[in-house]
Amino acid sequence: MSVCWHPSDLMKLMVSEKTGQIRFYDLIAEQPIVSLDVGHVTMMSADWCPMNNTLVGAVAGERWHIWDVSASSQPIQSGLAHQTMASQFRWCRQGELLFSTTTSLGKEFKVHHRGHQNVPVSVPLVQCGLSTGIL
């Protein structure tokens, strides 16, 4: 589960649930605005893009998903995050093309580029001397 404030509107909150849903709340009206769904897959983490607040990314099962919440409730991009359960999704704080994912055991992280279909940069955290997610 993740809870994330809107990058520029403190009255909007995003909550991702392990049930596979992401809900957006208007804190002034105290009610949900919209929701996204990845199906019957355990969602572990979601993040709002700080450079483009219409983009939301998440990991569910072994896959990553990206939505443009201004256009559709369906993901605009999806891909394989890890061979095992992914646990964390984080946008690059400097742009909207890069994001990272980590495994549920925190043993590997990958840096993905939205514009390339190439294999993402993958680093075993044990080799880095790290034992938890970096981003």
pLDDT of residue 124: 66
Burial class (CB in 10 A: 0-12, 13-18, 19+), 112: buried
Site of tokens 């409730």: 73
pLDDT of residue 41: 86
pLDDT of residue 126: 54
Structure tokens at 31: 């009610």
Site of tokens 């569910």: 60
Length of the chain: 135
Walk along the chain (135 residues) in steps of 10 and give the mean pLDDT of each run: 86 92 93 88 91 93 93 90 90 92 83 79 57 44
Q: Is 30 left (phi over 0), alpha (psi -120 to 50) or beta?
A: left
